[in-house]
Amino acid sequence: MSKTNKKVVPESGKALDILKYEIAAELGLPVGKQMASMNVEFATELGSIPSQQVKEDYWGHIASRDAGAVGGTITSRLIKKAEETLFGL
């Protein structure tokens, strides 16, 4: 079975990451650099965040619903931008 999730424009990866973190911040999700500002020590003691997994790009503590909201918002914005570009809206 071959991997089929190749990016059409590989250079878009960095821009998508920036957009992902921007949307997560808008939704109030504690990921990325925001994670460093959280009381990580307290969270790891409680077991809500495993200490070995605390790193900048950690999304494991985010609910599937919230992660899906980020992906859905990315898709909506990309479609809106494409429509604006194509139709001059």
pLDDT for position 89: 62
44-64 residue pLDDT tens: 444 544 544 445 677 888 889
**CA 81 to each of CA 14, 19, 34, 47, 88: distance values in angstroms, whole numbers, following the listed order:** 17, 13, 27, 41, 10
Instruction: Indicate the Cα dihedral angle 69, 74, 76, 78, nearest 10°.
Output: -170
Percent of the chain with pLDDT over 70: 69
**Residue 17 included in any domain:** no
**Residue 69 included in any domain:** yes
> Mean pLDDT of all residues in the chain?
76
Range of the domain at 82: 33-87
Total of domains in the chain? 1
**Res. 36: pLDDT tops 50:** no
pLDDT for position 75: 95
What the block records as the tokens of 18 is 């920036």
Identify the band that residue 67 occupies on the pLDDT scale cut at 50, 70 and 90. very high
**Residue 15 included in any domain:** no
**Residue 18 included in any domain:** no
